Amino acid sequence: MSTIYITEQGALVKRAGRRLIVVHRNAVIAERHFRDISRVLLFGNVQMTTQAIHQCLHHGIQVAYFTLNGHYRGQLLPISSPNLYIKMAQISHWENKPFLLALACHLVAGKIRGQRYVLQKRRRGITLKNEFWKECDAQLRTMEERAKTAESIGSLRGIEGTAARIYFSAWDELLPEDFPFEKRSRRPALNGINSALNFAYTLLLNEVNNILELRGFDVVLGLYHSVRYGRISLSLDVMELFRPLFVDQWIISLARQRQIQKKDFHWNEVQGVYFTRDGRKKFLSLYDSWQKEFDLRGKLEHISSGLEKTFLKGETHAFSTAIQELLSRLL
C-alpha cells in the first residue's frame, strides 16, 4: 500500500474504472489501482472529482489537504471507527486533572529522553567529555526528571520549553557550517533547516491524526495541549513523542548527507523560506522512504493502543508502558 503525493499545481485527480489517475496539462502523470493506495495527499491547487472521492472513501483511503507550502488543512476519512467507548472514556476523564497531568508528564519526559538521544547519536564525533556537550546532556537529564514529577500543566510547559532551548542550542554543532540551524523559527521559517522541520512536522501530524481518528479518539480533547476551537490537540500531544526520534534526527541526517541543500529552498518576504518545486518533490520522496523504514504507522499504532487502554481502564500504566517500549526499541 502506497501514499500518493500530488504537488503539480492545476492537476486533476479522477477515477478511471478501478484506477486513480492524475492528469496535468492533458497528460497522465500518475496512475494507481485503488487497492494499492493507502493515502492521497494533495498540496495546493489540486482538484479531485466526486467519483474519485467516493472510490477513496469506499476503499478506506485517506485524502488529506495541505497548502502548497505544507500547512495541514484537514482530511477526508471513510466511516470512522465504531468505537464510541473511547470518546466516552475521554469525556469521562475530562475533569480528572491529576490523571491527565500524569499522562502529560509521561509524554513530555519521553520527548526529552528522545532529544537527549538525538544529541548523543548525531554528535559528529564530539566526545561526551566535551564540556558543552556534557552540560547540555546534564541539563536535559534534569529537565527529564523534573517533567516526570511536574505539579501542573503550566510548569510542565515551562520544563518542555527550557528543554527545547537547551536541545536546539546544540544543533549548529550537528549541521554543516554552510547549512546552519541558527535558531528555531516556525511560521515563517527563517532558513532551510527550519523550513524542512516545519514541513516534516506537518506531515507527521497528518499521520498521527489519521491513526487516532481511525481508532475512534476525539482528537480535539487533548491531555497536554489545551482545548482550542479548531485545534486537534490530542494529535499534537502524541506527535510530541515522535518529533525528535522520527523527524529531527532524520533532518539532521539529510543535511549532513547533502540530500537537502540551500538550493532546495527559496525566500519569500512574507512567507519566509520554503521548498522550491523540485525541492518539495524530492523531500516528499525521501519522507515516504523514511516513514516506511522507520515503520512510523506501526509505532503510532502501538502508542495509540496504549493510550486507548489507559483511557478505557482509567489508569496510566498502559500509556507509560507503551512509551517506554517505544523508547527502548529506538534508543
Q: What is the pLDDT of residues 237-257, one digit of tens each?
A: 999 999 999 999 999 999 999
CATH number at residue 32: 3.100.10.20
- Tell me: do 30 and 111 sit in the same domain: no
Residue 185, helix vs strand vs coil? coil
Q: Strand pairing partners for 13?
A: 22, 48
- Measured from the Cβ of residue 70, the count of other Cβ atoms closer than 10 Å reads 21
- Tell me: do 131 and 260 sit in the same domain: yes
Residue 128: the pLDDT is: 65
- Tell me: do 20 and 139 sit in the same domain: no
Residue 134: the pLDDT is: 87
Quick: pLDDT tens for 20-69.
Answer: 999 998 889 889 999 999 889 999 999 999 999 999 998 888 899 998 87
Residue count of the chain = 331
End residue of a domain, out of 56, 76, 96 = 76
Quick: pLDDT tens for 165-223.
Answer: 999 999 988 888 888 888 888 778 888 999 999 999 999 999 999 899 888 899 999 99
- Taking phi first (over 0 means left), then psi (-120 to 50 degrees means alpha), and beta for anything else, what does residue 242 get? alpha
CATH number at residue 235: 1.20.120.920
Distance of CA 57 to the CA centre of its chain: 24
Residue 178: the pLDDT is: 86
What does the mean pLDDT of the chain come to?
90
Quick: pLDDT tens for 115-158.
Answer: 999 998 887 776 667 788 889 999 999 999 999 999 999 999 99
- Tell me: do 121 and 36 sit in the same domain: no
End residue of a domain, out of 55, 76, 97 = 76
Residue 94: the pLDDT is: 87
- Tell me: do 68 and 193 sit in the same domain: no
- Quick check: 274 pLDDT over 90? no
Residue 267, helix vs strand vs coil? strand
End residue of a domain, out of 76, 108, 128 = 76
Residue 77: the pLDDT is: 75
Residue 244: the pLDDT is: 95
- Tell me: do 253 and 324 sit in the same domain: yes
- Tell me: do 46 and 90 sit in the same domain: no
- Tell me: do 214 and 172 sit in the same domain: yes
- Quick check: 270 pLDDT over 80? no
Residues 308, 309, 310, 313, CA torsion sign: positive
Percentage of residues of the chain with pLDDT beyond 70: 96
Residue 256: the pLDDT is: 92
Quick: pLDDT tens for 68-124.
Answer: 878 888 888 776 555 788 889 989 998 899 999 999 999 999 999 999 999 988 877
Using H for helix, E for strand and C for coil, what is the string for 30-91?
EEEEHHHEEEEEEECCCEECHHHHHHHHHCCCEEEEECCCCCEEEEECCCCCCCHHHHHHHH
- Tell me: do 96 and 16 sit in the same domain: no
Domain with 205 in it? 84-330
- Looking at the structure of the chain, the number of domains it has is 2
How far apart are the C-alpha atoms of 237 and 259, rounded to whole Å? 30
- Tell me: do 90 and 170 sit in the same domain: yes
In the sheet that holds 72-76, the strands lie side by side as 2-6, 37-43, 62-66, 72-76
- Tell me: do 300 and 186 sit in the same domain: yes
- Quick check: 5 pLDDT over 70? yes
Residue 2: the pLDDT is: 83
Pairing of strands 62-66, 37-43: parallel
- Tell me: do 188 and 272 sit in the same domain: yes
